[in-house]
Structure 1
Amino acid sequence: MWRPDRIAWWTGALFALGSLLFLIPGIAALGSSATWIGFGFATGSVFFTSAALLQLVAASEAPHRGRPRHERTLLRPRGWLPQRVDWVAAAVQFPGTILFNVNTFVALDHALDPHQMDVRVWGPDMIGSACFLIASTLAFANAEHRWLSFRPRDLDWQIAAWNLLGSIFFGISAVAAFVEPSTGDPVNDAIANGGTAAGAACFLIGALLLPLQAERQQRRLRAPGRDDDRPADGAQALGTA
């Protein structure tokens, strides 16, 4: 759905590009250590951060329980809304993407010793993955207003579920990427790269569904007598939903 005039469209597009740039290198890393793989991850992390910023702005400006939507601009986010689950999820996820920037760009330095790798690369990766997992867990609960649910025909639930699954895979990948000081090798390189690729695939699906979800939410906003407390225009992508 081509709607470049909407924040949700750009959020979905940027998350999709970021996911793709993690998916392709993640698959390639299973059988190669080519230099371009690291650059692919680093570039993808920039798209993730850009999308997460847009998502945080959208969550700050989304109408809630009948409150009017304010005009949104990137330079004037209006909301500090810790009482809103969708906003908290986006606010937790955004620093997680910044930590992935640190993780992927520092990893381009192949001169790091095992200790430096664990502190400068694995540490940000692990904390960033934890941010994603917390954000997507909150978002999954918020999608149907309960911690556990199973509604595979509901688009909001689908996006939240794909993003939660992606965060779980990223977390598994981060654990397996810890560098053993005695050997200088990751705990399990195959699981680390495979988890990254699997998580990116899940995030890609969630991102591609986002414009459709935003369009449906716009219709709900225009519907007479609307009483919907779900955020509109881009509050569900990647780790949040």
Structure 2
Amino acid sequence: MATKEATLPQANAEYRWHHNLEPALFTHSPDNAFPNHVGHFLHPTRVTLALKDPNRDEEFLWKSRDHRKNRHVKYTPNQDKSRHGRNSFVGIAHMVRLEYWNVSWWVAIAFTLGSVIWVVNGFYSFLPFVDTSFAQSIAGIGWTAWVGATVFELGSILGVLEAWNRGETANFGWGVRRALGQENASDSNGFAVNSSSEGKAGDLKHQRKWIWFSSDSKYWHELGFLAAFAQFWAATIFWISGFTALPSIQDAISTRTGVLDGVFWTPQVIGGMGFVISSSLLLLETQKRWYMPNPASLGWQVAIWNFIGAIGFTLCGALGYTAQTSTKAAYQSSLSTFWGGWAFLIGSILQWYESVNSV
């Protein structure tokens, strides 16, 4: 036991570990994707949890994204329903559940709905270029852009709330509690759990207060919060272009190039770049090293598809500056919205799957 515990101060001195632990556990090998001169500023995205008992060598890999996404909650609160998808088919079946208690589910649903609206917007924008039987609908483009941007804004607000309300106790969920043999413990979502029944109906009691706003500086060291914060401001700026896409506003500014560029195309470019930054941070959260992709990770797949979607939305705005004078630019701008919306939809559906299935 002395050998194990000796590694703890060194790890904590090098990284900003800040979560609570079960008394019988200690951490070692905390890590994130960045080099030391950058990584020391950020909390670890992966930590190994081990038992202090020298006669037991169980270890569990804790991941910050799984922690934030409530993937350590194995049973639906107050119900006898397992959240563990034994295989992909079971996991897909879980997507019909209404996990109203799970903020990560609301985030996924909001972005899925918003992405569907943007796919519709992409059809409105792009189909007239490939099939002349489809007339361009300024109203269809404008209203879907505004509604889609508004839903994305709502999803980004929920994303910040999700980051603020991740549990304070770091564990690997039910595997840790079984290894500890505890009768009562607290899961990462702040629920009291009776491990003898693995948290089935009647054993979950809400204990943690919901956080609507926090100025605690610890969040600025978490990649998940930084990504959510960047996404919020990106969605807020992007919403301006959704608002100015409304038909009555477009009619007023469409012939005034400077105004159109300033209040319609530029917010798309800046907002799209913000989405690129946000998805890049989420990619890094799931990687062992900043230069090593991790395609086997579900969270990484969510982030990469959102990254592709963000590139598409950024290109839409960038190409839009010359769309009025160049048919090719107008074509590519609309096409970027089309494939960007589909990429966001794929990422959102994967996030939906992730939010309803425990690890």
Q: Using structure 1 for the length normalisation, give the TM-score.
A: 0.80
Q: Which residue identity lines up with residue 194 of structure 1 in the other structure? A: L
Cα–Cα, structure 1 residues 187 and 138, in superposed 2: closer, same or farther, change >3 Å? farther
Give the Å deviation of 1:185. 6.1
Whole-angstrom distance in 2 between the partners of 1:139 and 1:97 = 16
Report if the CA contact (8 A) 2:145-2:245 is conserved.
Answer: no
Mapped partners of 2:234, 2:334: distance in 1: 19
Q: Which structure 2 residue ranges, 5 or more long, are not aligned?
A: 1-94, 129-134, 172-187, 191-207
1:47 corresponds to: 151
Provide the C-alpha distance between the structure 2 equivalents of 1:188 and 1:13, rounded to a whole number of angstroms.
33
Matched residue, 2:124: 28
**Selected match of 2:258 from 108, 112, 115:** 115
Match of 2:212 in 1: 75
Q: Distance in 1 between matches of 2:301 and 2:272?
A: 21
Q: Residue 12 of structure 1: which of 83, 108, 112 is its match? A: 108
2:270·2:314 contact (CA, 8 Å) conserved in 1? no
Change (3 A) 1:94 1:192: same
Equivalent residues of 1:61, 1:77 under 8 A apart: no
- Per residue, is there more strand in 1 or in 2? 2
Larger radius of gyration: 2
Contact map agreement 1:29 1:193 (CA 8 A) in 2: yes
- The equivalent of 1:57 in structure 2 is 161
Match of 1:154 among 288, 297, 309: 297
> What is the root-mean-square deviation in Å for CA atoms of aligned residues?
2.4
> Alignment partner for residue 338 of structure 2, among 176, 197, 204?
197
Distance change >3 Å, CA 59–CA 187, structure 1 → 2 = farther
Distance 1:39 1:83 in 2: 38
The 1:121–1:143 alpha-carbon spacing in structure 2 relative to 1, beyond 3 Å, is same
2:165 touches 2:210 (CA, 8 Å); kept in 1? no
**8 Å contact from structure 1 (residues 60, 78) kept in 2:** no
Tell me the TM-score normalized by structure 2: 0.55
> Which letter maps to 1:157?
W
| Equivalent-residue separation in structure 2 for 1:122 and 1:197 (angstroms) | 16
1:97 aligns with 2:235: yes
Answer yes or no: is the 8 Å Cα contact 2:166–2:189 preserved in 1: yes
The Cα shift of 1:5 comes to 2.4
Paired position in structure 1 for 2:88: none
| Partner SS, residue 220 of structure 2 | coil
| CA shift for structure 1 position 138 | 1.2
* 1:72 positional shift: 5.9
Residue identity in the other structure for 1:82: W
1:215–1:72 distance in 2 versus 1, CA, 3 Å: farther
SS in 2 for 1:173: helix
In structure 2, the CA distance between the partners of 1:72 and 1:55, relative to structure 1 (3 Å rule), is farther
The corresponding residue for 1:168 is: 311
The CA deviation at 1:124 is: 1.0
Residue 86 of structure 1 and its aligned partner are, at CA, apart by 1.1
Which residue of 138, 141, 163 maps to 2:284?
141
Q: Deviations for 1:121-160, whole angstroms, at most 9, x for unmatched residues? A: 1111111011111111111111124323344332112111
Instruction: Summarize deviations over 1:14-35 as a string: whole Å, max 9, x none.
Output: 1011111111111221114311
Q: CA deviation at 1:9?
A: 1.4
The one-letter amino acid paired with 1:101 is W
Q: Tell me the distance in 1 between the aligned counterparts of 2:229 and 2:328.
A: 31
Quote the Cα distance in structure 2 between the aligned partners of 1:205 and 1:64.
Answer: 31
Say how many residue pairs are matched. 216
Q: Is the 8 A contact 2:282 2:300 kept in 1?
A: no
Higher-RCO chain (CA-CA 8 Å, sequence separation at least 6)? 1
**Equivalent-residue separation in structure 1 for 2:236 and 2:117 (angstroms):** 16
Q: Are the counterparts in 2 of residues 57 and 72 from structure 1 also a CA contact under 8 Å?
A: no
The answer as to whether partners of 2:105 and 2:356 remain within 8 angstroms in 1 is no
* Contact 1:177–1:186, Cα closer than 8 Å, also in 2: no
